[in-house]
Amino acid sequence: MPIPHHRRRCNGFTILEMSVVLVIIALIIGAVSVGRDVYRSAVAERISTEFVQGWIIAYDRYVAQVGTVPLDNLANPTGRVRAGSPTPLCDTANTKELRDEMLKRGITLPTGRAEGMESHYVYQDSNGEPQNLQVCFTSVTDWAEPAPGSPPYIGRTRNVMVLNGLTPELANQLDNRIDGRIDARFGRLREATSGAAQYNLTGAVGSPPDDNPWSLDSTATRDGTPDGQSRVMTGYLKMNQ
């Protein structure tokens, strides 16, 4: 007995119908990916403008009101954070030294993570895992700057904001926003790595290379799995004072 025409059409999808479905799926995936990138870019912009810039403003106001940098010797100023001590000015689990010093001088602090944790900021890495960004201040004696003659770079004493907990993605985004390019060894924001500090170019020969990437990329995770928590780096942001 012949099968009715309308029942034969229900046996499966045509190649054209399957192609349309695949195109729709591809468009949805593309839209989700673009939306995710836009969201992460907005998060980096908020960290840059509200948190990092907020601490730059707090530091500058401290200098303007006190007349020297945080915890310098007021009787005999050195111009160095904590009078040049190698111990960074930070908030820890046991002390709130940075917070207390700022508030003692009447300085308004960024919101940060919460009240009492203004020097911390929680954000998500590229895999959606939580990360903690912390601000400290210290001085370094070997911040490389151009110099006439040879070598072309010499180390100078500079006060810096220490940014602990930078994922590769956030480091690149902040570097591009602050310096206009991604370069871990030049500009105002640089990477600090133990053993071979990339902010120190004393004795370097020749002109700056075109590309100095940060030491980690987004594939580096703490447990070695592709979707694990990203490994983090430390950045130094040079202050104006």
* Total domains present in the chain: 1
Is 98 within the bounds of a domain? yes
Tell whether 111 is covered by a domain.
yes
Residue 172 included in any domain:
yes
Determine the residue type at 147: A
Kindly state whether residue 41 falls inside one of the protein's structural domains: yes
Distance CA 122, CA 160 (A): 21
Q: What is the DSSP string of 71-96?
A: T--SSS--SSGGGG-SS-B-B-SS-B
Asked whether residue 5 is domain-assigned, the answer is no
Query: What residues contact 110, with CB distance under 8 A and at least 6 apart?
Result: 50, 51, 54, 55, 58, 118
This prediction's pTM: 0.81
Q: Exposed, middle or buried, 129 (CB in 10 Å: 0-12/13-18/19+)?
A: middle
Question: For the purposes of burial, counting CB atoms within 10 Å of the CB of 179, is it exposed (0-12), middle (13-18) or buried (19 or more)?
Answer: middle
In a domain, residue 80? The reply is yes
- Expressed as residue numbers, the domain containing 224 is 15-238
Measured in degrees and rounded to the nearest 5, phi and psi for residue 65 equal: -80, -40
Is residue 4 situated within a structural domain?
no
CB-CB contact of 205 with 151 (8 Å): yes
- Which pLDDT does position 123 carry in this prediction? 94
Element (H, E) at 19: helix 15-46
pLDDT values of the chain reduced to their tens digit, one per residue, 241 residues:
555 555 545 566 688 777 777 777 776 766 555 455 566 678 789 999 999 999 999 999 999 999 999 999 999 999 999 999 999 999 998 899 999 999 999 999 999 999 999 999 999 998 889 999 999 999 998 888 877 877 677 778 999 999 999 999 999 999 999 999 998 888 899 998 643 344 555 444 444 555 688 989 988 999 989 889 999 999 999 999 8
